[in-house]
Amino acid sequence: MTMEYASLGRSGLKVSRLCLGTMNFGPHTREGESFTLMDAALEHGINFFDTANVYGSKRGEGVTESILGRWFAQGGGRRERVVLATKVYGEMGEGPNDHRLSAYHIRAACEGSLRRLQTDHIDLYQMHHIDRETPWEEIWQAMEQLVQAGKVLYVGSSNFAGWQIAVAQGEARARRFMGLISEQSLYNLRARSVELEVLPACRALGLGVIPWSPLSGGVLGGSPSPDSKGRRSGEPASKALQENRAQLAAYQKLCTDLGEAPANVALAWLLANPAVTAPIIGPRTMDQLTGSLHALNLQLAPETLARLDEIWPGPGGAAPEAYAW
């Protein structure tokens, strides 16, 4: 298998069509196993790694970033071969300025991430959520300073609405700043609301789309048991299985008829969307990693895509045509 690469939004940055998510590293995947998975991802051509300062389940400690930092510290060109993405917004302490997107916190959070990641720069610094209390002139000034200092190369968003992306880009353009090059959104066969306005905004303004939870917490990859480990295991997954039992049965039958694993069909469906740059995969085992790679070679026929729309209907396309003329 030859890895495919695509430009991230309108930038010249090339990233692999699959992004390695690291949220499980620490809480569910031990450090040594995490190192093995990251080495294997690089060997298979995955050069895009995503993390966040709040990953690791211990507030303020940046457990997952620290694991990546110790992996980078092994050398062997690891850091140089990775397009490194992390995030800012979440709580990193108990103080009133230890979260959100004030210039004060952006600067402190960036320095903390750089220290834990054992690197001198972050390739893609993503705002983990919109901050309704901080003005864009403050946010963009803080980001500009990080870019000018060489500590951040590109800026992205995560969990933004379409209109918020538009406002952010308008404010950036007024400052003659590049602004956002990507948006990381919840997007999968079960969660398609971003098709209304987020995806159209990204396509119009030149942002790459990085879907998180492409398998809907494992629900689209098979039937997770209540005691399974991972990002969205346990009660939420069990509830989803109950609520979508008929749809999941139809989906499983379609995948069986295709002779493909459900997880690969879900990833291939995302990869077939021209707005999508790279879904985030969060493997906990080597089999899960290598299995995800198969989706890159899986071309879904038009009739298969139509059947998936029947099983998992979206909002009806882009707004306003989805609900008006």
Indicate which residues carry an active-site annotation: 55
Long-range own/partner contacts, residues 174-177 (CB < 8 A, 24 or more apart): 175/137, 175/140, 175/144, 177/140, 177/143, 177/144
Identify whether the C-beta of residue 84 lies closer than 8 Å to the C-beta of residue 122. yes
Helix, strand, coil abundance in the chain, percent, nearest 5: 40, 15, 45
Closest CA to 267 of 279, 277, 252: 279
DSSP β-bridge partners for residue 156: 126
Closest CA to 229 of 285, 292, 289: 285
115's tokens: 């220290």
- For the chain, give the number of residues: 325
Using CA atoms, how far apart are residues 165 and 179, in angstroms rounded to an integer? Answer: 10
- The identity of residue 227, as a single letter, is D
